[in-house]
Amino acid sequence: MRARVPLSFAHVVRPPPHFGLAAQVYKSTGLIGLLGTPSPSGAAAAVDAMSARFESVAKGIPEPALATAKAVALGGYRAATATKSGTVQDIAQQLLMRSKASAGDYAAAVTALTAADVASAAAAMLKGPPTLVAAGPLSELPKYDSVARRFN
C-alpha cells in the first residue's frame, strides 16, 4: 500500500535525476526511502547524492517547497477520492492503517504540517542506522560503515 503524504515528500526532497521516492506506511510504522539505478561506477556518487538529500531536508525546507508539496498531496487526495470506488479504497486503506476512517483527518493533517515537522522527521530518520539495499555488481558500492558514519 502506498501512502499519499510521503509521496508528496518528493516535492520537498527533490530526488536527483534517475532516482525516485518510495514510501510504505502501516499504522504507526513506515518506510521512506530514495531509490536509484546508477551504473556500477556511479554507485558511490548515488549513495552520496541520496544521503545528501535527506541531510538537506533535515536542516530545513523552504516554505514554498512545503506549500507545493501540500498542494500536490491534497490535490492527489481529492482526485483519488472523487469517485465512489476511490472513496471506498481510501476508507479501506485508512481502516487498515489506522483502524479508523475519517474524511477530514487527512486534509487536516496535511494542512497542519509545518516545515519544522518535515525537518524533524527527516532528522529522526537520520539518527538511526540506515538500510542500504543493492543489487547487481557490488564492487563499486561504498562499504556500509562509511555510509552509516554519515548518520547518527
Q: Who wins on pLDDT, 47 or 21? A: 47
Most confident region among 2-6, 27-31, 65-69, 132-136 by mean pLDDT:
65-69
Is residue 37 within 8 A of residue 18, CB to CB? The reply is yes
Q: How far is CA 140 from CA 26, 35, 148, in A?
A: 34, 17, 16
Most confident region among 18-22, 30-34, 61-65 by mean pLDDT:
61-65
| Distance between CA atoms of residues 103 and 41, nearest Å | 48
Beta bridge partners of 94: none
Half-sphere exposure of 46 (CA within 13 A, CB side): 19
Global pTM reads: 0.69
Residues 6+ apart with CB under 8 A from 135: none
Q: What is the pLDDT of residues 52-62, one digit of tens each?
A: 888 888 899 99
Q: What is the pLDDT, as a whole number, of residue 83? A: 92
| Distance between CA atoms of residues 152 and 150, nearest Å | 7
